[in-house]
Amino acid sequence: MTGAGKSCYIGGTLLKGGADMAETAMGGILLAASYTDWKKEKIPNRLILVGVLPLMMAFIQSGSLRAAYCRMLAMAFVFFFCWQIYLAGGLGAGDVKLLMLLAGVCGLERLLYIALIAFLLAAIYILARNYILPGKKRKRTVILAPFVFAAHALVMVGRWLA
């Protein structure tokens, strides 16, 4: 921490107030991604580029070059890990880029909570879809962005209530 009024993330943990603006802006990006993913089954690259704005806010609010460097390393780790899942057919390319941005804005620790909740929500949806509506013709793929948005919202609300 460099100043009395500044806030920064170290390892995904908020050290003093602030940085909610970047995460709230990222929530708007996730909402837009959810809508386009639901309607078109694609997350446009333009939307990912708009997502760079909250990422830059998070880098600026992190307060130090070291914290920004840690965020970039988190993004690289998420990209490498999720890209392997993409190559195996488990994620879409837009989902990989969205999770990578989320790692930069929220930090790796918070992203792990968000991803766990998102995958749990998606699993519940798949179970409900397969057992409540059996025999109905449906696609094999699951749109992930709405579940990531819901998980991000739950984590943010949990943080605000705590």
What pLDDT is recorded for position 152?
A: 95
pLDDT digits (tens, 9 = 90+) for 78-114: 999 999 999 998 899 999 999 999 998 888 899 999 9
Q: Residue 10's pLDDT is what?
A: 41
Q: What is the pLDDT of residue 124?
A: 94
What pLDDT was estimated at residue 19? 56
**pLDDT below 50 — which residues of the chain?**
1-18
7 torsion bin: left (phi>0), alpha (psi -120 to 50), beta (else)? beta
Question: Are 143 and 41 in contact, with CB atoms under 8 Å apart?
Answer: yes
Task: State residue 137's pLDDT score.
Answer: 66
Check: CB of residue 1 under 8 Å from CB of residue 16: yes
Separation between Cα atoms, residue 47 and residue 26, nearest integer Å: 11
Q: What is the pTM of this model?
A: 0.81
